[in-house]
Amino acid sequence: MGLYDKIFKPKEYTLANGKKIEEKASRAPLVLLILLFASILSIKVTGFNLSTLAKRGNQFWVILGKMFPPDPEYIPSIWGPLFDTIKMSIIGSLVGALVAIPVAMLSSSNIIKNKVVIVGVRLLFSVARTLPTLVTALIATFIFGLGTTAGSVSIAIFTFAYVGKLLYEQIETVDMGSFEAMEAMGCTKIRAFIESVLPQVLPGYLSNSLYCFEGNVRYAAILGYVGAGGIGLILNSEIGWRNYSRVGMILIILFITVVIIEYLSFWLREKLS
Amino acid sequence: MKKEKKTKPSPWKPGMTIQEMYEARPRMWMAVTAIIVIMAFLIAWSGTAFTGMDGTEVDGWAVAKSIIRGIFHPSASLLFNLTTEGVPYLLLETLCIAFLGTLVGAVLAIPFAFLGATNVVPKPIALVFRTIVMAIRTIPAFVYGLMFIRVTGPGPFAGLLTMSVCSIGMISKMFIESIEDLDGRILESLDASGCTTFQKIRYGIVPQISADFASTLIYRFDMNLRDTTVLGLVGAGGIGAPLVFAMNCYKWDQAGAILVGLIILILIIEWFSNKLRNRLARGI
């Protein structure tokens, strides 16, 4: 930003006591220019077209309108996939969150002193977090076949990366006194970690895991699209058949489930804090 | 709204030894057993989702090996191809969808945010709008994608519309929080000095919320970039479609090239977004 200040000279004021202060020129024009340029480029690349939207936009509402009234006779066939979705998110979150503990310990700079290990494990977390859930699910379907296993694995990977990152950041801020005391008394690193560090980070860890679980229910609903089981499977096929009243019913049931789970998890997290 | 936490009185009495104090430690065996039972039940119930290798005719580990080999040997011709089929252009398209999607999403989210803030409208109305936002958020992205394809035809335009609708939920939730944090005393003092409504908005509201809003949008852009890959699967533009094609044809070197490009782009953007948001939080 030094260059910017050289081009647009800061205003100088002299205060009553003779001191000179500078007011730097506003950055707003530069930011606006960059945003404008990015918008124009994006409009060109994506083919954004308001007139198409105005002409055909009502199609969206037509489809939405066809979802009402939802088809209540379809409810019995929703339960199976819905429970699959919930199961996938529970087992995926559990496995991911449990695996995250030892790995997060390996990447905390206050417990492990080896720089190479720390950087390597953190890179693993970053890459795992970067991969979109749907892509990992797709890869998992090639390895484990179509079905809920693939979905559970991809949710576990995402949870592992998300919870792991927050956990090692938390471990690095704990009070190391008791850990050092236990090591001095002859405990192994793992024993000292379990007895002294874990109790300190446990509430935060549980709260993060619950929050992640909450989001995973939404993600799990998408995974069916690549054949990884759950409610996305029937959602996709019913859209394909244009049975919009059934789609409406699925979405309503999904909405109710998500609301219930969110309130439950919110209530539990309140209790934890 | 925070309630005082009820804490049990400490068992400590004058003259207790450490041993006695240790014996009198709080024991929560009821809670612990309950948690263990619930967890065991949940694991047993949800464990059925692990059905093992179901329905593959190919050996899973062979596929896993070739995927890993593909990622470490990405197809260089695809990775450095500057035409519209190459990875750089696809990444640019993904970036553009995410960027414009965030902007349009922000514009759509602002009315929801003001109508959902309890210090702007009465509580029942705010609750109604919050429920609407939650309903918008629940519908999975690919459902919107498939709906918008019926509107605009397949292509990045459909992806952009999907991304903007998907962004409404989170953006308006964060906007509501910053609007509810507004300091009303500043508006009162501007009122007292005779400012017009426009001046009140310009000098009283905008400076208070602009940093928060910008930070939210940058974060959402970061998230949208990941979610945009979903859209390609339904044919709504971006890098997802070529990725799926490559995988379905077992061309793992091409899939590897796309994944490597995607991972690098997302890591760069994440680093950039963290840096910008840190600066915004500190007030530049």
| Same domain assignment for residues A110 and A185 | yes
**Is the per-residue pLDDT at A50 higher than 50?**
yes
pLDDT at residue A72, rounded to an integer: 85
User: Which residue type occupies A147?
Assistant: G
Task: Read off the pLDDT band of A28 (50, 70, 90).
Answer: confident
pLDDT at residue B1, rounded to an integer: 43
What CATH code would you report for B89-238? 1.10.3720.10
The H-or-E segment that residue B135 falls in is: helix B123-138
pLDDT at residue B102, rounded to an integer: 93
| Same domain assignment for residues A266 and A150 | yes
Check: CB of residue B97 under 8 Å from CB of residue B160: yes
Task: Read off the pLDDT band of A77 (50, 70, 90).
Answer: confident
Q: Is residue A246 part of a domain?
A: yes
Nearest to B100 among A43, A87, A92 (CB): A43
Which chain A residues have a beta carbon less than 8 Å from that of B138? 218, 251, 254-255, 258
Compute the C-alpha angle A212/A216/A218, nearest 5°: 130
Check: CB of residue A121 under 8 Å from CB of residue A111: no
DSSP B10: P
Domain with A18 in it: 2-48
Which chain B residues have a beta carbon less than 8 Å from that of A152? 49-50
**Is the per-residue pLDDT at A127 higher than 60?**
yes
Q: Is residue A56 part of a domain?
A: no
**Cβ of A39 and B100 within 8 Å?**
yes
pLDDT at residue B67, rounded to an integer: 79
The residue written with tokens 């593909």 in the block is: B70
Q: Is residue A59 part of a domain?
A: no
Q: Is A112 exposed, middle or buried (0-12, 13-18, 19+ CB in 10 A)?
A: middle
DSSP B147-197: HHHHHH-SSHHHHHHHHHHHHHHHHHHHHHHHHHT--HHHHHHHHHTT--H
Work out the percent of chain B whose per-residue pLDDT is above 70. 92
- Based on the structure, what is the number of domains in chain A? 2
Work out the percent of chain A whose per-residue pLDDT is above 70. 99
User: Which residue, A91, A169, A157, is CA-closest to A128?
Assistant: A157
**Is the per-residue pLDDT at B284 higher than 80?**
no
A259 contacts chain B (CB < 8 A): yes
Q: How far apart are CA A23 and CA A28, in angstroms?
A: 14
What is the rounded average pLDDT of the residues A111-116?
88
Task: Read off the pLDDT band of B57 (50, 70, 90).
Answer: low
Token pair in block for residue B14:
């004058």
CB contacts < 8 A, A to B, total 169
CA distance B71 to chain A (A): 12
User: Which residue, B200, B94, B161, is CA-closest to A135?
Assistant: B94
DSSP chain A: -HHHHHHSPPEEEE-TTS-EEEEPPPSHHHHHHHHHHHHHHHHHHHT--HHHHHHHTHHHHHHHHHT-S--GGGHHHHHHHHHHHHHHHHHHHHHHHHHHHHHHHHT-TTT---HHHHHHHHHHHHHHHHS-HHHHHHHHHHHH-SSHHHHHHHHHHHHHHHHHHHHHHHHTTS--HHHHHHHHTT--HHHHIIIIIHHHHHHHHHHHHHHHHHHHHHHHHHHGGGT-SSHHHHHHHHHHTT-HHHHHHHHHHHHHHHHHHHHHHHHHHHHH-
Interface test with A, best of B32, B48, B71, B139 (most A CBs within 10 A): B139
pLDDT at residue A209, rounded to an integer: 92
Check: CB of residue A85 under 8 Å from CB of residue A220: yes
What 3-state DSSP class applies to B30?
A: helix
Higher pLDDT, A145 or B132: B132
| Same domain assignment for residues A44 and A77 | no
User: Which residue, B71, B212, B207, B230, is CA-closest to B159?
Assistant: B230
| Same domain assignment for residues A200 and A243 | yes
pLDDT at residue A101, rounded to an integer: 93
Q: Is residue A62 part of a domain?
A: no
| Same domain assignment for residues A140 and A18 | no
Render pLDDT for A175-221 as a digit per residue (tens, 0 to 9): 888 889 998 999 888 899 888 888 889 989 999 999 899 889 888 88
**Cβ of A91 and B49 within 8 Å?**
yes
User: Which residue, A23, A30, A41, is CA-closest to A3?
Assistant: A30
What is the rounded average pLDDT of the residues B181-210?
86
Render pLDDT for B196-213 as a digit per residue (tens, 0 to 9): 888 888 888 888 888 888
What is the rounded average pLDDT of the residues A65-93?
88
Q: Is A201 exposed, middle or buried (0-12, 13-18, 19+ CB in 10 A)?
A: buried
DSSP B205: I
| Same domain assignment for residues A108 and A216 | yes
**Cβ of B135 and A135 within 8 Å?**
no
CA distance A135 to chain B (A): 8
Higher pLDDT, A13 or A125: A125
Phi, psi of B160 (to 5 degrees): -60, -45
Q: Is B249 exposed, middle or buried (0-12, 13-18, 19+ CB in 10 A)?
A: exposed
Q: Is residue A175 part of a domain?
A: yes
Mean predicted lDDT score pLDDT of chain B: 83
User: Which residue, A255, A32, A268, A40, is CA-closest to B169?
Assistant: A255
What is the rounded average pLDDT of the residues B52-68?
69
Which chain B residues have a beta carbon less than 8 Å from that of A147? 51, 54-55
| Same domain assignment for residues A88 and A158 | yes
Render pLDDT for B78-121 as a digit per residue (tens, 0 to 9): 777 777 778 888 888 889 999 999 999 999 999 999 898 888 88
Q: How far apart are CA A191 and CA A111, in angstroms?
A: 12
The H-or-E segment that residue B71 falls in is: helix B60-72
Lowest mean pLDDT among A232-236, B70-74, B258-262: B70-74
What is the rounded average pLDDT of the residues B2-17?
64
Q: How far apart are CA A206 and CA B16, in angstroms?
A: 34
Mean predicted lDDT score pLDDT of chain A: 87
**Cβ of A91 and B152 within 8 Å?**
no
Check: CB of residue A259 under 8 Å from CB of residue A270: no
Render pLDDT for B264-282 as a digit per residue (tens, 0 to 9): 898 899 888 888 888 888 7
| Same domain assignment for residues A6 and A92 | no
pLDDT at residue A99, rounded to an integer: 94
Whether this prediction's pTM lies above 0.90 is answered by no
Nearest to A39 among B61, B103, B148 (CB): B103
CATH code of the domain containing A94: 1.10.3720.10
Task: Read off the pLDDT band of B2 (50, 70, 90).
Answer: very low
Q: How far apart are CA A220 and CA A156, in angstroms?
A: 11
Which chain A residues have a beta carbon less than 8 Å from that of B88? none
Check: CB of residue B162 under 8 Å from CB of residue B105: no
pLDDT at residue A158, rounded to an integer: 92
**Is the per-residue pLDDT at B169 higher than 70?**
yes
What is the rounded average pLDDT of the residues B33-40?
88
Lowest mean pLDDT among A180-194, B51-65, B102-116, B230-244: B51-65
A26 contacts chain B (CB < 8 A): no
